[in-house]
Amino acid sequence: MLDCRHATLLASQSMEKRLPFRQRMALRLHLMLCDACTQFMRQLHLLRAAIGQLGRQVENDEKLVLSKSARERIAEAVAIQAWQNDEARRNPDHDSTD
């Protein structure tokens, strides 16, 4: 019989992948008999939902933007890359002949 310590390990793993049959059954049986671990399992699902919610909140928070200095730095890097791309286009044989 699974103890709570091992049941929580299996419960956590069951959030990653479908457990092999024997482990799945052992966990299910344990959860039927153990309120504490059933509560724990609920908490894992709640955590996942809450993290998802939190992520969506940040992703949609239009007040969160790149800082001015970061934007400038990135724009500069993009401009340099664009210039290099243009150079390469203008001299397509440059790399192979030199």
Q: Which residues bind another protein (CB under 8 A)?
A: 3-6, 8-9, 12-13, 15-17, 35-37, 39-40, 42-55, 57-62, 64-67, 70-71, 73-75, 77-79, 81-83, 85-86, 89
DSSP 21-47: HHHHHHHHHHHHH-HHHHHHHHHHHHH
Task: Name which of 62 and 93 has its Cβ closer to another protein.
Answer: 62
Please report how close the Cβ of residue 83 comes to another protein at its closest, in angstroms.
Answer: 7
Please report how close the Cβ of residue 69 comes to another protein at its closest, in angstroms.
Answer: 9
Query: Which residue has tokens 């299996």?
Result: 10
The DSSP letter of residue 19 is: P
Task: Name which of 25 and 47 has its Cβ closer to another protein.
Answer: 47
DSSP 51-83: HHHHHHHHHT-TT----HHHHHHHHHHHHHHHH
